[in-house]
Amino acid sequence: MPKTIIPFGPQHPVLPEPLHLKLVMQDETIVEAIPAIGYVHRGLEKLTETKEFTQNVYIVERICGICSFMHALTYCQGIESLMGVEVPPRARFLRVIWAELHRIHSHLLWLGLLADAFGFESLFMQCWRNREKVMDIMEETCGSRVIISGNTIGGTRRDISSEMLVKISSVADEIRDDLKRVEPVFFNDYTVKHRLVGVGVLEREKAYVLGAAGPMARGSGIRQDLRMTGYAAYGELDFEPIVETDGDCYARTMVRLKEVYQSIELIKQAASIIPEGEISVPVKGFPKGEVVSRVEQPRGEVLYYMRGNGTKNLDRLRVRTPTFANIPALLQMLPGSQLADVPVLILTIDPCISCTER
């Protein structure tokens, strides 16, 4: 049977990311997928070498808006490690609260995009309506809805009052109740299950060998979540990674939906036991040496390598994002799938090309 090469992206009505794939087809079945990444280049890593290390907090936040707080958290934790800075306990809990708000915001955005890919416009609007509540909280606590600039080296730039913590817990309960109403559509609707169950299966062994990260790995049965290492204040909170074993698109959807509930509980836990005290400490001196800093973003593990030379500028900053880690797994899933499943398959890795190509 003759083969046909069909270009997918970088512009596509379903996929809002500039990812380009060359799909080798036999009839409607994919035989091979060849990635062509590199359409986005902003030179952010080079820019961090020309700015002072304190200014880089604002640069790394702009690697990705949706998980901007986690980028700043990863950077700050690395610099704090190099300089021997001890972050106050209250700041560590505040970091958890804002990080989990970003995780809810990211997962609800993804659930809405997935619903839109099916043509479920009402479900898309329901998910994004809940996302607006999270963004309103971030605006109230930090003054901005997406890139909130809450982190600083040595702690956080802002505090959250006791009254606001009560409100955050109340809004988190509202989001949970609203999500419970739409959850049956994701889990039980015939059309949704037909599009997700058994599609894009990634076995546990393949996911491990290919280095899959985040919900991609946990959806294939790998119990890997960097929050379990206890960074920030996660070591003082009670939770377990969300793991599914089927390894298909349905399993990855279940992981992300259940992680929204988990993030709500983590926020409520942190808000209930957050200690009083300072939110930052003064930082003196300059970073010197090498460090690797890792944080669990909504899409998976992000890794920062930093090298300081004892001056106000870094010698090197290198970022390895979860989308980059998940592209090999995507290329493993595509062969054998149908052309109509490609948009959904790509969406289930939750791609962020601005993160990947910087």
* Binding site listing for Mg(2+): 45, 319
Cβ burial, residue 275 (10 Å; 0-12/13-18/19+)? exposed
How would DSSP label each residue in 157-173?
A: S----HHHHHHHHHHHH
Binding-site residues from annotation for Fe cation = 67, 355
Q: Are strands 300-309 and 29-35 parallel, antiparallel or unpaired?
A: unpaired
Annotated binding site: 45, 64, 67, 319, 352, 355
In terms of Cα–Cα distance, which of 240, 164, 211 is closest to 323? 211
Quick count: other Cβ atoms within 10 Å of Cβ 24? 16
Q: Which residues are annotated as a binding site for Ni(2+)?
A: 64, 67, 352
Backbone phi and psi for residue 157, each to the nearest 5 degrees, phi listed first = -80, -25
Task: Give the CA angle between residues 211, 357, 322 to the nearest 5°.
Answer: 30
DSSP track, 21-82: EEEEEETTEEEEEEE---S----HHHHHHHS-TTTHHHHHHTT-STTHHHHHHHHHHHHHHH
